[in-house]
Amino acid sequence: MAAANGGDSKGFEVPKLEIKFTKLFINGRFVDAVSGKTFETRDPRTGEVIAKIAEGDKADIDLAVKAAREAFDHGPWPRMSGFARGRILHKFADLVEQHVEELAALDTVDAGKLFAMGKLVDIPGGANLLRYYAGAADKVHGETLKMARPCHGYTLKEPVGVVGHIVPWNYPTTMFFFKASPALAAGCTMVVKPAEQTPLSALFYAHLAKLAGVPDGVLNVVPGFGPTAGAAISSHMDIDKVSFTGSTEVGRLVMEAAAKSNLKPVSLELGGKSPVIVFDDADLDTAVNLVHMASYTNKGEICVAGSRIYVQEGIYDAFVKKATEMAKKSVVGDPFNPRVHQGPQIDKEQYEKILKYIDIGKREGATLVTGGKPCGDNGYYIEPTIFTDVKEEMSIAQEEIFGPVMALMKFKTVEEAIQKANSTRYGLAAGIVTKNIDVANTVSRSIRAGAIWINCYFGFDPDVPFGGYKMSGFGKDMGMDALEKYLHTKAVVTPLYNTPWL
């Protein structure tokens, strides 16, 4: 295992970073919380405080919703053409691209994400989502209906209204734009609550949105905690829809609060325990590389992490050997170091949770092949970990760990692989590695999950809808499906008199 922090700090430069935005963004202005309270956001590389952030609670959510409601009911955003909204979203994307380095650095210090990946993937990906929905904004249309009566009928697609977005900490930029981009394109106004662990980039995006020409009140950002700010969004009587990404447990609370308040619709992208199935005919090196990526990308803090790995018995032993060698070569350390493959876990709580699951795995009888220990003198670093001899009923095979832990299991037949893959309460994603198209077709249609990736993983794209089955939630992000969830369908009917045709 390479040294934590990537060896010594020579050979790479940590960019100087000024934290420019720490207040709530409501109605086009940065303001203090009504209570005057702040909270600390910490750098997971060291555990040190980065900045003190205004702490929004119910009173601040009320102000943000009031601004969003005024902007929706009386402002220009839902009333301007889709083409005009699209031009503003393109300008927003331009501004994001102009600040790639600074935004990537914010997500690195706030979330422990690899700086190089932020510059290459996360921040440009956010701009790409804005551009995709900018192009869709003027293509929202209903249908002309062919009625059986002498009437003219048609449907209108209308923005749902004020949306509450509750964003997780593992992909602060990606998730911000998963939610805000289609809602903005649809003509909605919104209140965004970023995770308390990672508020910095969301506040910067609020600033860029204003520079791009998004009218005041349309996009409000209120950092705060789930039980206060998040609960206020979920139960607010003047919010028309909630979009939440996070744990299944909190998703239940969001849905319950939405039902008990004004029966607002919700979309939930929740937990996962995604299987990757490797068949005997797979190229071994390709399969090992793909599974390594699936398990350890973003230090395993990703809802679709390939954390249950099923390998067919003919190549199982060779796979374990190569996967272990690769995990041992992985460099864990400072995410600003371009030689590093894996940064720190998000915070002390998550770090301790992962280590607890590793202990549980050992106690339940799984074999720890490599990793399983903290590394480094400070910060929240954990070695890439592999377990073998894992049974389906074990906690590490059933519960979402959200860390760099791979559980390896063996199977014999296609039917057994399908049964094992489906033996989970989750259904977010799955991977299949095989050269046999018939096997790929059979398995992809048999696994109950919202995304199936064949001979690849993380097959995300702005045009590809993403969302889960079962207790992984419902509702789609990305693609035109995501735009639809921020639109109501209204039917309009008028009688026809003396018409030559119906």
Question: Per-residue pLDDT tens for 26-60?
Answer: 999 999 999 999 999 999 999 999 999 999 999 99
Establish whether 269 is a catalytic residue: yes
Question: Cα(328)–Cα(449) distance, rounded to whole angstroms?
Answer: 31
Q: Which helix (H) or strand (E) holds 210?
A: helix 200-212
- Listed as own residue / partner, the contacts of 250-256 with beta carbons closer than 8 Å and 24 or more positions apart are 250/226, 251/473, 254/166, 254/230
Q: Report the amino acid identity of residue 167.
A: V
Question: Cα(306)–Cα(312) distance, rounded to whole angstroms?
Answer: 16
> Which residues face 306 on adjacent strands?
274
Pick among 3.40.50.620, 3.40.309.10, 3.40.718.10, 3.40.190.10: CATH of 275-454:
3.40.309.10
333: helix, strand or coil: coil
pLDDT in tens, 6-25: 444 567 899 999 999 999 99
Whether the CB-CB separation of 264 and 191 falls below 8 Å is answered with no
pLDDT score of 7 = 46
pLDDT score of 9 = 52
Two structure tokens written together for 393 = 């009923």
Q: What is the CA radius of gyration of the chain?
A: 24
**What is the CATH class of 24-270+472-489?**
alpha beta
Give the angle subtended at the CA of 216 by the CAs of 233 and 77, to the nearest 5°: 90
pLDDT in tens, 115-173: 999 999 999 999 999 999 999 999 999 999 999 999 999 999 999 999 999 999 999 99
Residues of the chain with pLDDT under 70: 1-10
Question: Cα(248)–Cα(270) distance, rounded to whole angstroms?
Answer: 5
Other CB atoms within 10 Å distance of the CB of residue 318: 13
Question: Cα(384)–Cα(2) distance, rounded to whole angstroms?
Answer: 11
Please enumerate in sequence order all residues whose Cβ is within 8 A of that of 272, keeping only pairs 6 or more positions apart, or say none.
303, 304, 305, 400, 426, 427, 428, 429, 468, 472
If DSSP states are collapsed to H, E and C, what string results for 383-426? CCEEEECCCCCCHHHHCCCCCCEEEEEEECCHHHHHHHHCCCCE
Q: Which of 196, 269, 383, 400 is catalytic?
A: 269
Two structure tokens written together for 123 = 């921040």
Q: Where are the domains of the chain?
A: 24-270+472-489, 275-454
Question: Cα(446)–Cα(421) distance, rounded to whole angstroms?
Answer: 9
Whether the CB-CB separation of 145 and 155 falls below 8 Å is answered with yes
433: DSSP letter: E
Other CB atoms within 10 Å distance of the CB of residue 498: 5
Q: Find where tokens 């501004």 sit.
A: 95
Sequence length of the chain is: 502
